[in-house]
Amino acid sequence: MELSDAYIASFISERDELLVEMENFAKQHHVPIMQLAGIESLNQLLRIQKPKAILEIGTAIGYSALRMAKALPDCQIVTIERDESRVQYAKEFIARSEAANSIQIIEGDALEVEMEKLPTTFDAVFIDAAKGQYMKFFEKYSPLVPSGGVLYIDNMYMHGLSNLDIKEVPRRKRTMIRNLKTFSDWIMSHPDYTSAFFPVGDGLLICLKR
């Protein structure tokens, strides 16, 4: 049986004015920020993990970065976004928050960012960018994660598409879905990671490095 939305909503924490403004902005401008139940779960796992540094791929307007920064006041967050106007919005929103000093935004394509620009280790990496490229993001950034660190990967449901038979997936999205499937098969049998799928929000995959 499915849990009712009202029951799930009863566990969602209150957000301050700035966060609510960002949620409304995202809705209005069709920016795909993380769902509330997803971010609650991610944040609780992060509170348990207690990372000192997080790398986020896919800032959008800075919503999830700010949510993570609020959940972990002692953590430094580096976040990468390639869309210039989203970077501007993210900077403006974050400047208005109390977490401005703990979030660094890097503008650019995460697959092209020079590694020298980044700290050498991140105990947590949150991948939430172009869905067809998860394998590439993982291959590029997982070497920065030490043993015991975690990669969190959002949108494994692909808004329901990854659940469908490939013939039912719109043609222009098939490559993306095939890539996602290749990635999930690869990571689930990867000897260096213990991975688990959390069917919350749009589907969160959690890969613990051995």
For ligand SAH, the binding residues (CB under 6 A) are 32-34, 58, 60, 63-64, 80-83, 86, 109-111, 128-130
- Which one among 40, 81, 123, 154 touches Mg ion, defined by CB under 5 A? 154
- Residue 83 to residue 104: CA distance in whole angstroms: 15
Q: Is 83 annotated as a binding residue?
A: no
Q: By the 8 A CB rule, do 149 and 123 touch?
A: yes
109 binds, among ligand SAH, Mg ion, none (CB under 5 to 8 A by kind): ligand SAH
Shortest approach of ligand SAH to residue 185 CB, angstroms? 22
Question: Which of 120, 137, 127, 133 has the alpha carbon at shortest distance from 176?
Answer: 133
130 binds, among Mg ion, ligand SAH, none (CB under 5 to 8 A by kind): ligand SAH
User: Per rule CB under 5 A, is residue 81 in the interface with Mg ion?
Assistant: no
Shortest approach of ligand SAH to residue 147 CB, angstroms? 26
Q: By the 8 A CB rule, do 194 and 208 touch?
A: yes
- Cα three-residue angle 186-32-119, rounded to 5 degrees: 60
Please classify residue 188 by burial: count the beta carbons closer than 10 Å to its beta carbon, then call 0-12 exposed, 13-18 middle and 19+ buried.
middle
When the beta carbons of 49 and 79 are compared against ligand SAH, the nearer one is 79
DSSP 8-class letter at 118: S
| Position of minimal CB gap to Mg ion | 154
Three-state DSSP at 81 gives strand
- Tokens linked to 184: 């999930």
User: Per rule CB under 5 A, is residue 155 in the interface with Mg ion?
Assistant: yes
129 binds, among ligand SAH, Mg ion, none (CB under 5 to 8 A by kind): ligand SAH
155 binds, among Mg ion, ligand SAH, none (CB under 5 to 8 A by kind): Mg ion
Q: Which residues are annotated binding-site positions for S-adenosyl-L-methionine?
A: 34, 64, 81, 109-110, 128
